Structure 1
Amino acid sequence: MDERIDLAAPAVRWLWKKGSLRESTVLQSFAFDEVHKRLYVLQVRRGGGAAGNLCLNKLDYDGNRLGHMYLHGFGHGVSMGVQHAADGTVWIWTEADSRGGYGRGVTRFRFVDGAVRTAEDVEIRKPIPGSTSNQPSVCTVSNRIAVRHRMGGKPRYRVWDLDAFAAHDYSDPIADIPQPGAHPDPAIAFQGWALHGEHVYQLAGTAYDDSTNPPAERGNAYLSCLDLRTGKLVQRQRTGAGHSLDYREPEGLAIRPTPEPRLCLGLASGAAGARKFSIYYKPLT
């Protein structure tokens, strides 16, 4: 599967200024269950960032919350994934085993409304020994999983067949590449990523700031795309999607696989303690 979403395509608004998440913090990442038309959104719990405490929200496609669960000691929630198993089970993939607020491994679990999960409740996988800041993404079209991680402090991506990975076989990765070029300014915060076929999409940027990132300039958020086969940066594009939002912090990137692939971008807005979220998308053109 070689299709690539053009980052220069105009962004389309999908959800706008939704305040339905359980916590009052920003969204961190999100993923789609297209089979059941559900949207899962991760947040850091209020006051729980250093401990890696997360809240997982389950929403419908209108942005209404249908339930939530808490994940204590898991990580920061930079990315996540949804897997549909052959037996119909829906698995949620996230980072796990937090150290300093970021996961040293990954895990999968079923969504259970109102539940609280800790490291003792899940199986923690460490497919890349010695790595830190592990963050998974699932491509349901190619049936692959990727883990963004750091080795010696440097971020990389490693990709596997999802069935092999689920069976604990990490011996034959499809790709293993460094993370280049998320933003023209390497000091700007990395805010999310998503796997789709032969490509990895990245998001970087910061919230509006009157002195360094003024609203009049429509923000400093950039989208970028890497080719897994070569490890090269193939496109990078500044995006002004949602530029009229107040605060406007880019947060989270995901692929909605049907009716056609859409690269979906999360944006946080609103006052501290009462954050809202919006989602825009770029279609396959």
Structure 2
Amino acid sequence: MFKARSGSGLSRRGLLKAGGATVLAAGAGGALTVGEASAAVPASKRFDLSTPSYDVFRKALLHEKHHAMQGMAFDPGNGHLFISQVRDGSSGDDLCINRLDGSGKVTGTMHLDNAGHGVSIGVEPNGKDSFVWVECDSDANDDSGRGTALARFKFVDGEAPSGVKKFFTGSKTITCATDPVNKRILVRRKESGRFIYRLYDFAGMDVENGTFTDELAKISQPKLGDGSVTFQGYAVFGSYLYTLDGEGHADPADIDSFVTATDLNTGKVVERFLTKAGKSLVFREPEGMAVTRTSGGEVRLCLGFASRTSIGDIDRYANVFQKNVLV
């Protein structure tokens, strides 16, 4: 189940020790910043972003062949990976949720109308069922459309969502990510013009009223790089937020994709590292992050990248890589 080669050894190029935390050296991907934070999340280990990334799978063809993968999330117990993408031929805010196995084979799909862009999604396992969390009620019926609420529904292959429950209605540019190890959900949305992350336990969820109790963390998004980066996804594990940014490039020499770790208790960026995972892919573009745990108990931070077979190819492929060293 989602097997990949294990990494070994640590590289600390460009890293310094400061106040007991590992931080990026000045000049490597931009200065580190601190966002506002209010939290009391039990401290956890974090992923060492400087360690190598290893293949989970490459060149998976999703249901919508002409659109790149976007957000992703795992249901480790049932062996599923879910990937969102914009639907081919749609107005731009209609989504397809793909269900994949560990080899990258699509095993099911669901279509959502007027949802948003699908930058990040979540999954809540419930026995043999998987409940998908994804933005909904897009604010525009085109490529600019972004969700104004989160929808929760059971994944049923080939069917339209039913029994949908909505949370955080009236939001602006809302998405989410889930921590399958600690059974939590992290919500990202704009509040007073800034992106804010809020962390909740699934145990505090009120499905009927669409609310959560006992907020565990609230942080504003720290400045990433020089502040002009292209945000491509995020994940959560324990007391850390992980983000992915960068653009698509035809030349590996131009790769600018960075992974960043932020402490949810302080809002402080503790590590930012350039990732060249899948650098040989044709027109490699960072798309999505997620956390999973193998049947053997290894926790992994997974990074998604879209690709093509050639620059002129209109088909887009999904590629997933993982980091597995905790510090």
Structure 1 and Structure 2 fold alike (TM over 0.5)? yes
Instruction: State yes or no: 1:132 paired with 2:132.
Output: no
Structure of greater Rg = 2
Structure 1 residue matching 2:205: 3-state secondary structure = helix
Instruction: State yes or no: 1:205 paired with 2:240.
Output: no
Instruction: State yes or no: 1:158 paired with 2:198.
Output: yes
Structure 2 residue matching 1:250: 3-state secondary structure = strand
TM-score by length of 2: 0.78
Aligned to 1:266: 304
Counterpart contact for 2:78–2:128, Cα < 8 Å: no
Structure 2 residue matching 1:115: 3-state secondary structure = coil
Aligned to 2:187: 147
Counterpart contact for 2:290–2:303, Cα < 8 Å: yes
User: What is the distance in 2 between the residues matched to 1:16 and 1:59?
Assistant: 13
Instruction: State yes or no: 1:107 paired with 2:151.
Output: yes
TM-score by length of 1: 0.89
The Cα of 1:166 is off from its aligned counterpart by: 4.2
Alignment deviations for residues 197-253 of structure 1 (CA, whole Å, 9 cap, x no partner): 1111000000015xxxx4224x00000011111111111101111111111000000
The Cα of 1:88 is off from its aligned counterpart by: 4.7
Structure 1 residue matching 2:318: 3-state secondary structure = strand
Aligned to 2:110: 69
Counterpart contact for 1:23–1:43, Cα < 8 Å: no
The Cα of 1:49 is off from its aligned counterpart by: 5.5
Higher relative contact order, chain-length normalized (CA < 8 Å, sep 6+): 2
Aligned to 2:121: 80
Counterpart contact for 1:134–1:147, Cα < 8 Å: yes
The Cα of 1:108 is off from its aligned counterpart by: 0.9
Aligned to 2:82: 40
User: What is the distance in 2 between the residues matched to 1:276 and 1:145?
Assistant: 27
2:285 corresponds to which letter in structure 1? E
Aligned to 2:226: 185
Counterpart contact for 2:120–2:288, Cα < 8 Å: yes
Find the partner of 1:224 among 250, 260, 265: 260
User: What is the distance in 1 between the residues matched to 2:275 and 2:202?
Assistant: 31
Counterpart contact for 1:97–1:124, Cα < 8 Å: no
Counterpart contact for 1:132–1:150, Cα < 8 Å: yes
Structure 2 residue matching 1:35: 3-state secondary structure = helix
Aligned residues: 273
Counterpart contact for 2:257–2:286, Cα < 8 Å: yes
Identical aligned pairs, as a percentage? 36
User: What is the distance in 1 between the residues matched to 2:261 and 2:53?
Assistant: 16
User: What is the distance in 1 between the residues matched to 2:182 and 2:79?
Assistant: 19
2:226 corresponds to which letter in structure 1? D
Alignment deviations for residues 158-214 of structure 1 (CA, whole Å, 9 cap, x no partner): 1111121344443431111101133x13222100001111111000000015xxxx4
Structure 1 residue matching 2:253: 3-state secondary structure = helix
Find the partner of 2:49 among 7, 11, 19: 7
Aligned to 1:31: 73
Question: Which runs of no fewer than 5 residues in structure 2 stay unpaired?
Answer: 1-42
Structure 1 residue matching 2:283: 3-state secondary structure = coil
User: What is the distance in 2 between the residues matched to 1:49 and 1:282?
Assistant: 36
Aligned to 1:236: 272
Counterpart contact for 1:22–1:68, Cα < 8 Å: no
User: What is the distance in 1 between the residues matched to 2:206 and 2:237?
Assistant: 18
Counterpart contact for 2:64–2:86, Cα < 8 Å: no
Q: CA RMSD in A?
A: 1.9
1:180 corresponds to which letter in structure 2? P
Counterpart contact for 2:204–2:213, Cα < 8 Å: no
The Cα of 1:282 is off from its aligned counterpart by: 0.7
User: What is the distance in 1 between the residues matched to 2:216 and 2:323?
Assistant: 26
Aligned to 1:55: 96
Counterpart contact for 2:98–2:109, Cα < 8 Å: yes
User: What is the distance in 1 between the residues matched to 2:234 and 2:277?
Assistant: 17
Counterpart contact for 1:25–1:274, Cα < 8 Å: yes
Alignment deviations for residues 86-119 of structure 1 (CA, whole Å, 9 cap, x no partner): x5532111111111311111011111111234xx
The Cα of 1:272 is off from its aligned counterpart by: 5.0
Instruction: State yes or no: 1:116 paired with 2:163.
Output: no
The Cα of 1:273 is off from its aligned counterpart by: 2.5
1:139–1:180 CA distance, 2 compared to 1 (3 A)? same
Aligned to 1:89: 129
User: What is the distance in 1 between the residues matched to 2:287 and 2:63?
Assistant: 14
